Structure 1
Amino acid sequence: MDSIIVRGNGPLKGQIPIAGAKNACLTLMPATLLSEEPLTLTNAPRLSDIKTMAALLESLGAEVTSLQDGKVLAMSSHDLTSSHADYDIVRKMRASNLVLGPLLARTGHAEVSLPGGCAIGARPMDLHIFGLEKLGAEIELREGYLHAKAPRGLKGAEIDLAFASVGATENILMAATLARGSTVIRNAAREPEIVDLATCLRAMGAQIEGDGTSEIVVQGVDRLHGATHPVVADRIELGTYMLAPAFCGGEVECLGGRLDLVGAFVEKLHDAGIDVEETKAGLKVARRNGRVKAVDITTQPFPGFPTDLQAQMMALLSTAEGTSVLEEKIFENRFMHAPELMRMGAEIEVHGGTATVRGVDRLRGAPVMATDLRASVSLILAGLAAEGETVVSRVYHLDRGYERVEEKLGNVGAHIERVRET
């Protein structure tokens, strides 16, 4: 199992290109199931999760071809052979459940295993099921699989979500594109990944309005056609690399970064003493003189502070001047990185969904273990600011969400290397 070794670092300098969004691409790929014609995605990230989704689509009979070193995905679902999403594939990744809505809409039936992924909370399928049943689907859980059918086809409906779930909004949105009549999704998620999906679906011929707001209206069509669509920049990778100079000092330009993707995050950076400047090519980030300042964080659905940047921010605030309070409002069990940061000298107290972080002058390098995707990169960032050497094990989590992290950080001056176990 690979490990990453990080050594305490001086100032960083240079540019980091931001990849296409993992969460957007994993949503866009199942959209190929909605049409017999090809769907091509450009600016695709090169990640293990993308390969897992490709394997799942291929198991259903879709064709997925990786081009241009993985940055282009050419897909075709002209001849689907199965509507059974097997546990052996689905268990590896939460986003696998996003084939449920498209399969139902296209074929009228689907068998999808309950999904897996990072162990950061239950993240139940209740809202997915609720919305699809509103559209006319009949769904029951048997032996770990959701057995869904729409014997009379899907029909537009008014759907009021109890929580602005990203996954449920995506599944319902895709299914509604081929449903008869009009569908209204209220309390819809507003994330950029939802907007990106709607943009792609419109390019395929869907009639969608209101994406990016809490109410999305879909007028169903008889069929969708092919399209070519660029994947939006990854706002979580963007936020992660924006933090690198906050740990080490220096100045880093994140190529392809956009302020509208990370507005609430940038506000907290400003409060902590980190400058963010918009450039023609992206966003330039530099830490002001001295230690960063303590700030309080509450994770919220977009456009609030993203839960997927909470671990990275906790690592930074471990070295801040003062005491910070972080409240996790999205997922339970998402402070598992706190004990690992404490091994490096951080002073953190966790009570339920709240963590109190008292900043220390400096972290110390230590052997630590990644517990999930975002925790893994938070430990790498912490290692950049620590005295001595930090060894991060179980970095297979990292490869699910960050492409070539050693190369990107190394190119701006970070002391980082991967140790591959043979």
Structure 2
Amino acid sequence: MDALAITGGSSLFGETRIYGAKNAALPILAATVMVEGTCVIDDVPHLEDVRVMAEILRALGATVERSGLQVTVDSTNIRLTNVPADLMQRMRSSIFLMGPLLARFGEVRVSKPGGCVIGQRPVDYHLTGMRALGAAVEEKHGYIRCTARRLQGTTVTLDFPSVGATENLIMAAALADGVTVIENAAREPEIIDLANFLKSCGALIEGAGETMIQVTGVHHLTGTQHRIMGDRIVAGTVLIAAAATGGRVTVENVSPAHLGSLLAKMRESGMRVETGRDIITVESSRAWQSVDLRTEPFPGFPTDLQAPFMAMLTTAQGTSLVRENVFEARFKHVNELTRMGADISVDLRTAVIRGVDKLSGARVECSDLRGGAALVIAGLMADGVTHVEGLHHIDRGYQSIEMHLRDLGADIERVQL
């Protein structure tokens, strides 16, 4: 069994370029099934979720080739619309194929997707959107089948600004007849990246990144070349790790505007933050103040950075309150942090973190992707050696995390237990 062996106490220093965003790459790769032609996607990270998405595309009949960080997809010869259930269960983002396949072929059959167990993430928002566009939706024996002779543009108001549902609706509407208006749309930067990709293929989309998006359907999309935006969650994780170890790190290829809420909280806790057009530097001493935060849809504090930031707060001066407003089961890392000496209590969606002098190395296990990143950061902070198990979760969203951190001075290696 693979694990990360981390000897704490080393501060992180240096500069690093952030690779392409997983949360942008996956919907964009899914969107290629709508394109009759070749799409060249640059800066695609080497992640387990990306590999699974490529397997799904091949299973459907697409040609997928990778050369370094470039992935080339030709979906011209896709004929299947039944997404393999075993692959769906390995990655929640496979639900992104629903809108594109339905839009292009008039039907799609998927099983309910898997992924990290961090709370209820129902596909109801997706299905409501497909129904609004005119699709018939049947749920039976764990499968979802959507059919439509032709999707029709309409107005869809989301009950919650779901990122996935917003993206699925944009993709489905891109090939629908007429105009679709998405109200209460999610505003995350990855949605803008998806829209930019689709527009380069010939789609007509206005308002991506705002609460109302308008999509005018076209009859076909053509091949293109597109570069994935930098991963703001990876950037945030690295910056938090630098701060938590009393270091100074500069990350490149990420917009400070994409991490505004995180940087505000880091400044509030006493970190020094400098920004440029696509560059962020964070520097800290080994003493920082407690802060309170609540996760919210963008531009609020990202739920994906709640666990990593909590790891840093375990040794802050004072008591911090963290309110999780997006996923109700996203405190599974707390038990592992307490094994390392953290003083944390949880009441439903609120965690109270009382700062301690230090953490101690321990053997801990990831239960989800971002919780795993929190345990890595805790290991970097702790006295002694920490073994982090369950790396398959971390590998879904971080490209060779041990090499990335080692280049910045961390004492970390992948070992067999």
Q: Which runs of 5+ in 1 are unaligned?
A: none
Please list the CA deviations of residues 160-181 of structure 1 after superposition, one character each: whole Å capped at 9, or x if unmatched.
0000000000111000000000
1:189 to 176, 183, 186: 186
Amino acid at match of 1:286: E
Give, in whole Å, the separation in 1 of the partners of 2:210 and 2:277: 27
3-state SS of the aligned residue for 2:392? Answer: coil
Q: Are 2:304 and 1:300 equivalent residues in the alignment?
A: no
Q: Distance in 1 between matches of 2:254 and 2:157?
A: 33
CA contact (8 A) 2:27 2:167 kept: yes
Q: Distance in 1 between matches of 2:173 and 2:320?
A: 43
- Residue 8 of structure 2 is aligned to residue 8 of structure 1: yes
Please give the secondary structure, in 2, of the residue aligned with 1:88.
Answer: helix
Specify whether residues 142 and 280 from structure 1 end up closer, same or farther in structure 2 by C-alpha distance, changes over 3 A only. closer
Does structure 2 retain, via aligned residues, the 8 Å contact 1:38–1:76? Answer: yes
- What is the letter of the counterpart of residue 294 of structure 1? S
Counterparts of residues 136-175 of structure 1 (less than 5 Å)? 136-151=134-149, 153-175=150-172
Contact 2:256 2:277 in 1 (8 A): no
Within 5 Å, give how 1:194-205 maps onto structure 2.
Answer: 194-205=191-202
Following the alignment from structure 2 to structure 1, what is the Cα–Cα distance between the partners of residues 197 and 162?
20
Where does residue 420 of structure 1 map in the other structure?
416
Distance 1:10 1:290 in 2: 11
Matches within 5 A, 1:402-417: 402-417=398-413
One-letter amino acid of the counterpart of residue 60, structure 1: L
| Residue 85 (structure 1) aligned with residue 83 (structure 2) | yes
Structure 2 spans left out of the alignment, 5+ residues: none
1:6-405 superposed matches below 5 A: 6-67=6-67, 69=68, 71-151=69-149, 153-279=150-276, 282-287=279-284, 289-405=285-401
- How big is each residue's C-alpha offset from its partner over 1:248-289, in whole Å with a ceiling of 9 and x where there is no partner? 1121111212211100111000001111112466211101x4
Is the Cα contact below 8 Å between 1:16 and 1:241 reproduced in 2? Answer: no
Distance 2:286 2:382 in 1: 16
TM-score using structure 2 length = 0.98
Which of 278-287 and 220-229 deviates more? 278-287
TM-score by length of 1: 0.97
Shift of 1:291: 1.1
SS in structure 2 at match of 1:309: helix
Query: What is the DSSP-based 3-state SS (H/G/I as helix, E as strand, rest coil) of the residue aligned with 1:416?
Result: strand
Q: Quick check: 1:11–1:249 contact (8 Å CA) kept in 2? A: yes
Secondary structure at the residue paired with 1:273? coil
Stretches of 4+ moved more than 4 A in 1? none
Contact 2:256 2:278 in 1 (8 A): no
Q: Secondary structure at the match of 2:345?
A: strand
Give the AA of the match of 2:51: K
Deviates more, 1:251-260 or 1:309-318: 251-260
> Deviation per CA, 1:220-241, whole angstroms, max 9, x where unpaired?
1111111101001101001000
The alpha-carbon deviation at position 81 of structure 1 amounts to: 2.5
Q: Distance in 2 between matches of 1:251 and 1:263?
A: 18
CA-to-partner distance for each residue in 1:88-138, whole Å, 9 max, x for gaps?
A: 000001100000000000000000111000011120011101111111100
Count of paired positions:
417
- The answer on whether the counterparts of 2:229 and 2:254 sit within 8 Å (CA) in structure 1 is no
Deviation digits for residues 189-232 of structure 1, max 9, x if unmatched? 00001000000000000000000100000111111111101001
Mapped to 2, the partners of 1:283 and 1:345 lie a distance apart of 31
Structural RMSD (CA)? 1.0
| TM-superposition CA deviations, 1:38-87 (whole Å, max 9, x none) | 111101111011000001111111111111x2x00100110113100121
